[in-house]
Structure 1
Amino acid sequence: EDGDFEDVVHPGHRAKNHTDVIMAVPKMWIDDPLSIHQNKLMTRELAMKIGSCTVPDASGNFARGDSCPLDERTIYVAIASYRDYQCRDTVTSIFERAKHPDRIRVGVIDQITDGE
Structure 2
Amino acid sequence: DYSLHGSVLSETRHFLLAAEAADWPSAEPDRNELVEPAGLQTCRVFNAQGEVLTQTDASGNSQLSTHNLAGQLHSTDLILNGSTHARTLVSAIRYNAFNQVEQETAGNG
TM range (shorter): under 0.3
Q: Going by fraction, where is helix more abundant, 1 or 2?
A: 1
Which structure has more relative contact order (CA 8 Å, sep 6+)? It is 1
